[in-house]
Amino acid sequence: LRLGRRRRFKLVRQAEQLWHYGHLCIRSLLFNSFTNSDVVLDSLFEPVYWLVDHVTRWFGVVFVALVIGLTSSIVAIVYICLLPLILQTYTPAWICWHLAYGHWNLIMIVFHYYKAITTSPGQTGGTKDDLTGVSICRKCIAPKPARTHHCSICNRCVLKMDHHCQAAWLNNCVGHYNHRYFFSFCLFMTMGCIYCSISGWEMFRDAYAAIETYYQTPPPTFSFRQRAFHKSVVYLWVLCSSVALALGALTLWHAALITHGETSIERHINKKERQRMQKKGKVFRNPYSYGSWDNWKVFLGVDVPRHWLTRVLLPSPHLPHGTGLSWDLPPCVTEQRAPLMAI
């Protein structure tokens, strides 16, 4: 019995030694003094993040095809159904207005959408020694300049990153070099949808009333072409009104950010920093904000008064101020702003 107990105790001790040895190996291989509960959760959810990022890339391609298809359908309805009616019933002055404004708005939408999806937002190039970073990117393990953030979908650091745009169907990051194109596309698309909704309101009411009579007894004698016209007008008005509301809200949000000299990411960062400084009795000031008017001039690239016409009201591929790696005072700014933090 004593020999049996000794053997059992020996097996238990060996099992405990193996357990402690394995535990020590795992701790030594995975030990990190910066590890906390957030890092552990991020590591556990890393496969989920990877799956979402890769699926989102394919969603972007689908959204680009969707916006092109929907916009093309609206333009086709306007040319095939509405334009002949406008030419027959409107006065020459109204005809000139609709032709001029409608085609100008369409050109601005197409130009800025194409530039937004094809223009690279800007990334940190060159060697690591060439970059002056304010922090180190945890994913790229490289210096990260001011206002630069890592995009998990593009898997790169983006200069002055605002967001990775899927909501506006760009399939691209919105950053330093295409931020203006993104906002201009949202603005002119909203203006175009509002224009179609207001101009087509009377035709929408007539077409909707005609559709309601389809199921009467006896049914009205509408031809196939008339039925197609009614449904096309209702489709145009409902789609344009919905997009105008949704995209209009997004445009107003980004207009507020531009007014304060912030991006979507910086909005959250500055809010936390403002609360932190407030607890210390100090006031946080955004170093990249030059005042509401100057912020718009910097964002739109307006250096001289004629640029409001050539760079804002007309398609313009001009580059933004600066390189995105450093942020010097733009020449169009009228006065130097306060420092980052003031007591």
Q: Partners of 159 in the beta sheet?
A: none
8 Å CB contact between 143 and 123:
no
303 inside domain: yes
- Is the residue at 10 inside a domain? no
Number of domains within the chain: 1
Pick the closest to residue 162 from 143, 178, 186 (CA basis). 178
Give the integer Cα–Cα distance in Å for 135 and 126: 17
The per-residue pLDDT for 28 is 76
Asked if the structure places residue 339 within a domain, the reply is no
What's the number of CA atoms in the CB half-sphere (13 Å) around residue 81? 24
Report yes or no: 211 and 226 within 8 Å, Cβ to Cβ: no
The reply to whether 332 belongs to the active site is no
Residue 166 · residue 59 · CB < 8 Å = yes
Is residue 175 a part of any domain in this protein?
yes
Q: Which residues of 199-234 are buried (b: 16+ CB within 10 A; e: fewer)?
A: bbeebbeebeebeeeeeeeeeeeeeeeeeebbbbbb
pTM of the model: 0.79
- Residue-level pLDDT at 339: 47
| Helix axis angle, 224-259 to 201-212, nearest 10° | 140
Q: Distance (Å, rounded) from C-alpha 147 to C-alpha 174? A: 13
pLDDT in tens, 271-310: 888 888 888 888 888 888 888 999 999 999 999 999 999 9
- Which residues lie closer than 8 Å to 339 by C-beta, 6 or more apart? 285, 287
Does residue 332 fall inside a structural domain?
A: no
Amino acid at 235: Y
The answer to whether residue 290 is domain-embedded is: yes
Among 165, 186, 193, 240, the active-site one is 165
Question: In this predicted structure, what is the pLDDT of residue 343?
Answer: 31
For residue 23, being part of any structural domain is answered with no
Range of the domain at 302: 45-325
Q: What is the pLDDT along the chain (343 residues), one digit of tens a residue?
A: 565 556 667 788 888 889 988 888 887 777 766 666 666 777 777 777 677 666 666 777 788 888 999 999 999 999 998 888 888 888 999 999 999 999 999 999 999 999 999 999 988 765 555 555 567 888 887 888 888 888 877 788 899 999 887 655 788 889 999 999 999 999 999 999 999 999 889 999 999 999 888 887 787 888 888 899 999 999 999 999 999 999 999 999 999 999 999 999 999 888 888 888 888 888 888 888 888 999 999 999 999 999 999 999 999 999 998 888 888 888 878 655 544 443 3
At 133, phi and psi to the nearest 5?
Answer: -105, 150
Q: In residues, how long is the chain?
A: 343
Secondary structure of the chain in the HEC alphabet? Answer: CHHHHHHHHHHHHHHHHHHHHHHHHHHHHHCCCCCCHHHHHHHHCHHHHHHHHHHHHHHHHHHHHHHHHHHHHHHHHHHHHHHHHHHHHCCHHHHHHHHHHHHHHHHHHHHHHHHHHHCCCCECCCCHHHCCCCEECCCCCCEECCCCEEECCCCEEECCCCEEECCCCCCEEECCCCHHHHHHHHHHHHHHHHHHHHHCHHHHHHHHHHHHCCCCCCCCCCCHHHHHHHHHHHHHHHHHHHHHHHHHHHHHHHHHHHHCCCCHHHHHHHHHHHHHHHHCCCEECCCCCCCHHHHHHHHHCCCCCCHHHHHHHCCCCCCCCCCCCCCCCCCCCCCCCCCCEEC
Whether residue 11 is contained in a domain is answered as: no
Q: What is the pLDDT of residue 41?
A: 73
Q: How far is Cα of residue 207 from the mean position of the Cα atoms in its chain?
A: 36
Is the distance from CB of 189 to CB of 109 less than 8 angstroms? yes
Q: What are phi and psi of 164, to 5 degrees?
A: -90, 115
